[in-house]
Amino acid sequence: MICRDNLQFLRQRYYYATWKADGTRYMMLITMDGCFLIDRYFNIRRVQMRFPCRHTNKGLVEKTHYFTLLDGEMVIDTLPDTQKKQRRYLIYDTMAHNHVSVIERPFYQRWKMIDKEVIGPRNYERQHIYQSRNPYYRYELEPFRVRRKDFFLLSAVTKLLREFIPKLSHEADGLILQVVDDRELLYLHEGGKRELMEGNRVVFPEGHDPSDYSGKIIECSFDTDNQAWVWMRTRIDKRVPNNYNTYIKVLRSITDNITEDALLNEIHEIIRLPMYAHRIQNDSKDHVQHR
């Protein structure tokens, strides 16, 4: 609920806005064995829907989603031309993608995945099926349509309230403000748990989508001029990242920036200390005798 006291949060975090649809919330679980709708009372209903995975090269891919969990709401659209009622499922979040949890990723990444990994591949395949003489699946026979729910910049709230919402083909009863954390968060292991590397950031090569590296172990170098980690490669050979203590030691070493000359000068001074001078003298004698 929006009240005067919590309006201050809009000044502290970055928010997007969307409409509060007068619909029914459902989680959607997509498996290789079928698609299931789960309501808030945990009633489960199987529906005939198809969700192919995103293709990675030219041509179609037969693989479908395997344990992808989505969050959304079912609304009843009234078609403007015929006034016919039609159900539509609006997806607004991704909980898991192909058996991998994504709930700890920033919201904007999870929201982008809806179009990139779910809606996009469906539209791509459906377009090719329509052009085929022997379609192997008929999307038009599915029980309802599916789309990603739109989110708008906070600067567009006036237009959202006065122009967009009044033209919706389904009922809406308010506004939802969604906090968006668009930082690329870095984690290391500490005591069996993930430790957030607060204040750190990674720079990826131009044209690379940072969300493609989420959940992966990467190796970086440190750019001291820009105070940022620079991606070098993805470590597919490692199962867990370095621990937090290792990170602290590496960062301290980088910050201190001890050169070879500085190291040699320091050692030269140290070996002149009595505790070293005496030991070195004795060791030298033993070394000569053994030779």
Q: Quick check: 255 and 222 in contact, CB under 8 A?
A: no
Task: Tell me, yes or no, if 149 is annotated catalytic.
Answer: no
3-state DSSP assignment of residue 101:
strand
Within 10 angstroms of residue 187's Cβ, the number of other Cβ atoms is 14
Strands (E), 115-246: 145-148, 152-153, 172-179, 187-190, 193-196, 202-203, 218-223, 228-234
What does the block give as tokens for 79? 């078609």
Whole-number Å distance between alpha carbons of 201 and 183: 8
Out of 20, 159, 216, 238, which one is annotated catalytic? 20
175 DSSP β-pair partners: 19
The separation between CA 174 and the C-alpha centre of its own chain, rounded to angstroms, equals 28
Q: Which residue has the tokens 């033209």?
A: 167
Whole-number Å distance between alpha carbons of 276 and 289: 20
DSSP 8-class letter at 44: E
Whole-number Å distance between alpha carbons of 29 and 43: 13
Catalytic residues, by residue number, are: 20
